[in-house]
Amino acid sequence: MVKPPSLQDVATAAGLSPATVSRYLNGSLSLPPDTAARIDAAIEALKYQPNPYARSLSRGRSDTIGLLVPEIDNPFFARLAAAVEREADAAGLALMLYSSLNRKDRELHYLERLRRNFVDGLIFATNHVDDGDLAAAIAQSSNVVVVDEDVAGVAAPKVFSDNVAGGRLAAEHMIALGHRRLAFIGGPEGLMSSQERFSGFRDEAKRAGAGVEAAFFGPYTLDHGREALCRLLKEHPEVTGAFIASDELLFGALETMRNRSVSVGRDLGLVTFDDAGPLAFFDPPITAIRQDVGGLAREAVRALRERLGGTPDNPVCRLPVELVVRKSVHALNAASSTG
């Protein structure tokens, strides 16, 4: 309620000038013990806390970074946000969380905020195909790290999961359980994540002599999951195992399967990607390729800090994924040949 104490107040209380106190606090001045103690005492007595706005104005930076995600109420991005929060906090950085609702205008808006120095840097996660505007806007600001999904043509540090390996693991798993007629249900065809998850899956299937009978690309939505599974059942009844490239798509697919009394695991094996939702509690529990969300956050914050520290290059970091075997793929027969 009452106006908080300023640096001036502390200085007066300690019988010093504001400059001295400031420099002492920021370590650019070392003082004899008794002087230092006087300052410490004054700070303690007044419960002084520096005003972050004055500090940011003066220093030209805010020690605040932003995280932009398409939607925070998607379990994957929620976990990512939590992990980034933790990493940022550990690095002494405050986090501003933004959600773009997957709309380009909002994404540009927040990039603009970066340009205004509202935040020192931005960790950027998008989920839709860019027409070039995003890439252009990102190119304007430095201090952007792209995470999870690529924005084509942008020179910035990038942190991704090893989607190709994820696709490969999914294929391997189903093939090891005897499945030979496979299918893929993925996100937008223009997105790196879709392409990579698909290519890893397809290549491993080919290598193992199995066939990918169908691939359904579309938005990362419930609806696309529902419809893709409808088409799969109708057009490719021979398929016994499907790799579904996100949790959201999985939920749609599950709905269709339940409506048609197609049993998960017995009639159609399912492996999904992300493993952010409570898949272990589904019936049956869903086998998934798990992204290392903590790792993504850690590397993204690390890359951003390096960038803030002046490092000019644009490394691309790939994080390993992991197959979490649950019960959604049954063995098709006794076979377990992998080659």
Residues 6+ apart with CB under 8 A from 66: 95, 96, 97, 98, 110, 113, 114, 118, 119, 121, 122, 123
Of 99 and 287, nearer to a second copy (C-beta) is 99
219 binds DNA (CB under 7 A): no
221 lies in the binding site for DNA (CB under 7 A): no
Helix, strand, or coil here: 86?
helix
Helices (H), strands (E): how many in the chain? 12, 12
Of 13-21, 197-205, 278-286, 307-315, the window that binds DNA (rule: CB under 7 A) is 13-21
Q: Is 32 helix (H, G, I), strand (E, B) or coil?
A: coil
| Interface with DNA, residue 333, by CB under 7 A | no
- What is the pattern of x (binds DNA, CB under 7 A) and - over residues 15-54? xxxxxx-xx-xx-xxxxx--x------------x-xx--x
DSSP 286: P
Q: Taking the C-alpha atoms of 262, 272, 106 and 104 in order, what is their torsion angle to the nearest 10 degrees?
A: -80
If the CB atoms of residues 98 and 184 are measured against a second copy, the closer one turns out to be 98
> In the bound complex, what is the minimum distance in angstroms from residue 258's beta carbon to DNA?
56
Q: What contacts 308, CB < 8 A, 6 or more positions away?
A: 120, 121, 143
> Please, what is the minimum distance in Å from the beta carbon of residue 102 to a second copy?
12
CA 279, CA 284: separation in Å to the nearest integer?
Answer: 9
- State the binding partner of 2 from DNA, a second copy, none, CB within 5 to 8 A by kind: none
Residues within window 57-76 making contact with DNA, judged by CB under 7 A: 57-60
Determine contact, residues 217/191, Cβ cutoff 8 Å. Answer: no
Identity of residue 63? D
Number of residues that bind DNA (CB under 7 A): 32
Angle between helices 104-115 and 133-140 (to 10 degrees): 10
Which residues form the interface with a second copy (CB under 8 A)? 1, 4, 49-54, 56-57, 62, 71-75, 78-79, 81-82, 85, 94-99, 112, 115-118, 141-142, 251, 254-255, 258, 277-278, 280-283
Tell me which amino acid residue 265 is: G
**216: partner contacted, choices DNA, a second copy, none (Cβ within 5-8 A by kind):** none
Residue with smaller CB distance to DNA, 38 or 86: 38
146 Ramachandran zone, left/alpha/beta (phi>0; psi -120 to 50): beta
Q: Cβ–Cβ contacts within 10 Å for residue 289, how many?
A: 29
Residue 39 or 134 with smaller CB distance to DNA: 39
* C-alpha count within 13 angstroms, C-beta hemisphere, residue 149: 27
Which CB sits closer to a second copy, 280 or 335? 280
> Does residue 285 touch DNA according to CB under 7 A?
no
* Interface contacts to DNA, rule CB under 7 A: 3-8, 11, 15-20, 22-23, 25-26, 28-32, 35, 48, 50-51, 54-55, 57-60
